[in-house]
Amino acid sequence: MNPHSHLQDAQKALRPIFWEIDDRIKVRLDRVLGAFAEHRVGVQHFASVSGYGHDDLGRQTLDRVFAQALGAQAAIVRVQLVSGTHAIACALYGVLRPGDEMLAVAGAPYDTLEEVIGLRGQGQGSLSEFGIHYRQLPLQEGKVDWTALASAVREETRLVFIQRSCGYSWRSSLSIAEIEKIVNLVKAQNPRTICFVDNCYGEFVEECEPTAVGADLMAGSLIKNPGGTIVTAGGYIAGKADLVEAAACRLTAPGIGSSGGATFDLNRLLFQGLYLAPQMVGEAIKGNHLTAYVFDRLGYRVNPQPTAPRQDTIQAIEFGSPEKLIAFCRAIQKHSPVGSYLDPVPANMPGYESQLVMAGGTFIDGSTSELSADGPLREPYIAFCQGGTHWTQVAIALEAAIEAVGPASE
């Protein structure tokens, strides 16, 4: 087995797909540039204020640029949002009240939201402890159960939760067309129900974002797609103006909402990250196609398939054993720019029920817009790969990974 030959064959086969991705990058970038031009972004917006952060022109303009680029009425972009989970939690706590019901329509939510909802843990102020009820529709063969969804929304269903990405599950991520179909089905049953989308890993992958097809609210992380691999921390919430403000009041306090929050001289980085995002997302998607192609040829199950259209920046590989999962992550870590000398080992992580093994030799700690891979230590031992500043870095790491794990038959 020659890893280099495997990679060369994959690169040749995927060339037409890479060209198509470049064409799509141009469309996404044009949308972002249009938002920059519309709001007359200039060097004066790179400065910021201290203290309370009142009247920060750069932050206010960034919010408007972000909203337009994502097809939303309004947005808040804040370094005070410590993760995608935090941004999602602020949105949920901002709009849900005691007695309301939250309905998850795409199966179980991401692991870190289980304690937010109240499915795990006690005494932490979960939604359940505040009297908010939770229900979820199980998937049917990895897909949304459209028949069940058509009659699932009740009078008390205040919010429908739509997780766009697969998370740590073996299912297809949701397309924008599927999200639009969900929104239409929900609104037909109860027009007052809020359609919320966990948009992590999905930004700039497709032609438009969930808010452009009827979603009321969405949230994500800046150390994923919209940070362009350079933003050091933060998250965003975007959607209808009143709902965004309600979420902002949860982040800060009622009466302060979106008008507070210093940006610590990071405005330029936040603008630049958004500008770079379409390009970086495109490179990550190329890397995903390459990863899928190579490991599919080696006999492993992959999701999505090598040439399938992408709905997010995650590529899953089922290894079937903890040894191969760990060996794969070690190979990725060894060919990362930061901490290549480190040896990934399974460990407990805050917010996760299972131990995780993680390869994350990234400049930004925890960044998944840079090349990274991780997976829970549970059957069937799946590695979830994401990110990459250029597909060639993925190719370099894959050569070592092929050698480390070998064909599925071994």
Summarised one tens digit per residue, pLDDT across range 16-74 is 999 999 999 999 999 999 999 999 999 999 999 999 999 999 999 999 999 999 999 99
Q: pLDDT (tens digit, 9 = 90+) per residue, 105-133?
A: 999 898 889 999 999 988 899 999 999 99
Residue 291 belongs to some domain of the structure = yes
| pLDDT (0 to 100) of residue 127 | 98
Residue 83 belongs to some domain of the structure = yes
> Residue 221's closest CA among 364, 122, 71, 21?
364
Q: Which residue has the higher pLDDT, 171 or 70?
A: 70
Domain shared by 181 and 55, yes or no: yes
Mean pLDDT along residues 136-161: 97
pTM exceeds 0.85 for this model: yes
Domain shared by 161 and 201, yes or no: yes
* Residue 243 belongs to domain spanning: 41-274
Mean pLDDT along residues 228-251: 99
Domain shared by 191 and 286, yes or no: no
Domain shared by 218 and 303, yes or no: no
> Residue 21's closest CA among 173, 206, 172?
206
Residue 35 belongs to some domain of the structure = no
- In this predicted structure, the answer to whether residue 158 has a pLDDT above a threshold of 90 is yes
Q: pLDDT category, 6, cuts 50, 70, 90?
A: confident
| pLDDT (0 to 100) of residue 1 | 64
With 0-12 / 13-18 / 19 or more C-beta atoms within 10 angstroms meaning exposed / middle / buried, residue 136 is middle
- In this predicted structure, the answer to whether residue 223 has a pLDDT above a threshold of 70 is yes
Q: pLDDT category, 167, cuts 50, 70, 90?
A: confident
| CATH number of the domain to which 66 belongs | 3.40.640.10
- In this predicted structure, the answer to whether residue 230 has a pLDDT above a threshold of 70 is yes
Question: What's the structural domain count of the chain?
Answer: 2
Mean pLDDT along residues 218-242: 98
Domain shared by 361 and 253, yes or no: no
Domain shared by 269 and 291, yes or no: no
8 Å CB contact between 251 and 80: yes
Q: Report d(CA 137, CA 356) in Å as an integer.
A: 26
Domain shared by 53 and 152, yes or no: yes
- In this predicted structure, the answer to whether residue 410 has a pLDDT above a threshold of 90 is no
| CATH number of the domain to which 314 belongs | 3.90.1150.60
8 Å CB contact between 228 and 369: yes
Q: Supply 298's token pair.
A: 């080696």
Domain shared by 334 and 394, yes or no: yes
Q: Report d(CA 160, CA 4) in Å as an integer.
A: 47
Pairing, β 101-104 against β 133-136: parallel
Residues 244, 245, 251, 252, Cα dihedral to 10°: 160
Q: pLDDT category, 305, cuts 50, 70, 90?
A: very high
Q: Average model confidence (pLDDT) for the chain?
A: 96
End-of-domain residue from the set 274, 307, 324? 274
- Which residues, at least 6 apart from 60, have a Cβ–Cβ distance to it below 8 Å? none
Q: pLDDT category, 357, cuts 50, 70, 90?
A: very high
Residue 33 belongs to some domain of the structure = no
| pLDDT (0 to 100) of residue 163 | 96
- In this predicted structure, the answer to whether residue 389 has a pLDDT above a threshold of 70 is yes
Domain shared by 297 and 355, yes or no: yes
Residue 156 belongs to some domain of the structure = yes
